[in-house]
Amino acid sequence: MKPIWVIAVSVLATAALVGGGTYYLTTAQAEKEQEKLQLQIDELSEKLTPTTGKNDAQDGESNEEVASDPTANWKTITDSSFSISFKYPDSWPTTTSKYLSAEDNDFAGVAGANANFTTSDIKDKGKIRLVKMTKLADYTTTGDKSQVTQLKSVYSAKNTSAATTIIMLPHVNAAIAGSTKPTYIETADGVFRGVYYFASIGQDYSTMLDCVIVLTDNTNVVTLHFALPSDKAANYKKSDGTIDPSFLDYVKALTTESDEALIKEFNSVYKYIAQSLTKTSTSQTTKSYSSSELGFSLEYPKAWSAGKFDSSADSVTFNDEDDHWQVSVIAKSTSKSLADEAKAKIMTLGGGAAGGSGVTNTDTTIGGVTAKKITAPVEGGKTICYLVVNGGKLYTINLFTETATNKEVVDSIKFN
């Protein structure tokens, strides 16, 4: 008979062998199951991941960064007359800005450049997509000056505390029947600042809604005007076809959260057009002209053209993009003083002296040289010219209209 301790040892050895084998088999089976499960996960991941291994963002750029710039794929328009660029939706028709003189710029009363995205198909539905560019200095009427003062105050204060009335520059041939209070807005770089508001604007009382954004860089004015029919028009139309006066109360209560197509367009399009405004460098928007025969040089808008030097008249003319003359310079030999030349010019304009027949004679400087600015009324407008005597020559600089752009051309003149 074996000792009892031998039996105990045998039992323990057998248990260890059986248990160890069971543990080994169980662990091995678990590892195989885990490997099989990981393989299934990898296969599923490959199906869910694009084969390129990239998302819609560019390398090193997150989806959040792409989504933060809704204008990334938009078109860009640059106006050379005002050295201003802005973006607009790729789905909108491609257009260019058109410079208009004060006489041709309907109801505005000032010269400016318009970028019109209002195609005929949407115009018939009362829709408006228009961007206007003008110069602060060109607004000279009492009513306009008041609005200019308010806009400048908004620019300086970066708030609307000084905007006591609705700002619409240039003014339009329509009435603002009702509007929200102006809200402050600025461009991404803070260069342009101003206001936006929602309104009902028209010659007739209607259920059209307007979004107006007016910005300035303290030199230029950019006005964006958009219009769409109100989605709630049916709620305010009476059986006789007239509009219930309560529609104006509805307009005044509009916010950026209101359920209107115009508001949605403001949140997704209009405000981003406004915030994309940028100033372009002068070198990108102007061309240089220099004449050894006439003895001067100047800068003029890239969209303009310089006429050939006319040796018979000793002159050169600068035309705008519509081939209409804006500035001309004539150089003639003289032995007279500037004062004597000014008196002779005033006589040719019908004034025996400054003030006679509405003629004005003002001292100024051009290119660091003493000059005279002379104006005289003519049918439908006025004659504007500058006189300079330099190097034995009398320079007569004529302006078609007294716009800020034309004045900038004059101010850029340098004498050889």
Specify if 363 maps to a domain. Answer: yes
DSSP state of 388: E
**What are the distances in angstroms from CA 15 to CA 12, 29, 92, 195?**
5, 21, 84, 88
- State the pairing for strand pair 369-378/286-291: unpaired
**pLDDT score, position 50:** 41
The total number of structural domains in the chain stands at: 3
187 with 277: CB under 8 angstroms? yes
Q: Provide the 10 A C-beta neighbour count for residue 259.
A: 8
Same domain assignment for residues 162 and 185: yes
Rounded CA-CA distance 259/172 in Å is 27
Chosen domain end from 226, 257, 279: 279
Quote the domain boundaries for residue 353. 283-415
User: Of 203, 207, 247, 201, which is closest to residue 225 (Cα–Cα)?
Assistant: 201
Specify if 269 maps to a domain. Answer: yes
pLDDT at 307 over 90: no
**pLDDT score, position 3:** 53
Same domain assignment for residues 16 and 161: no
User: Lowest-confidence range among 157-166, 301-310, 350-359?
Assistant: 350-359
Strand partners, 201: 176
* Tokens describing residue 307: 């006429």
Q: Tell me which residue has tokens 């640059």.
A: 78
**Percent with pLDDT over 70 in the chain:** 79
**pLDDT score, position 65:** 46
Same domain assignment for residues 320 and 253: no
Chosen domain end from 263, 279, 295: 279
* Tokens describing residue 56: 């819609």
Specify if 60 maps to a domain. Answer: no
Specify if 196 maps to a domain. Answer: yes
Same domain assignment for residues 110 and 199: yes
Specify if 62 maps to a domain. Answer: no
**pLDDT score, position 48:** 46
Specify if 58 maps to a domain. Answer: no
Chain segment 231-282, per-residue pLDDT in tens: 999 999 999 889 999 999 999 999 999 999 999 999 999 999 999 999 987 6
Q: Tell me which residue has tokens 């206007």.
A: 132
Predicted TM-score (pTM) above 0.75: no
pLDDT at 347 over 50: yes
**pLDDT score, position 277:** 96
* Tokens describing residue 303: 């969209």
Q: Tell me which residue has tokens 């006005």.
A: 223
Chosen domain end from 279, 309, 325: 279
* Chain length of the chain: 416
Q: Tell me which residue has tokens 């010219």.
A: 385
Same domain assignment for residues 273 and 304: no
Rounded CA-CA distance 137/70 in Å is 34
Chain segment 27-37, per-residue pLDDT in tens: 445 555 556 55
Rounded CA-CA distance 145/379 in Å is 25
Specify if 170 maps to a domain. Answer: yes
Question: Cβ contacts of residue 137 below 8 Å, gap of 6+?
Answer: 219, 404, 407
What's the distance, Cα to Cα, between the start and end of the chain in Å?
134
Would you say the C-alpha torsion 231, 232, 234, 237 has a positive or negative sign? Answer: negative
Confidence band for 404, pLDDT divided at 50, 70 and 90: confident
The CA angle 362-282-395, to the nearest 5 degrees, is: 35
Same domain assignment for residues 256 and 364: no
pLDDT at 413 over 80: yes
320 with 326: CB under 8 angstroms? yes
Strand partners, 327: 318, 399
299 with 313: CB under 8 angstroms? no
Q: Tell me which residue has tokens 């003519």.
A: 378
User: Of 216, 215, 244, which is closest to residue 230 (Cα–Cα)?
Assistant: 244
In one-letter notation, the amino acid at residue 121 is D
DSSP state of 281: P
Question: The CATH number of the domain where 363 resides is what?
Answer: 3.40.1000.10
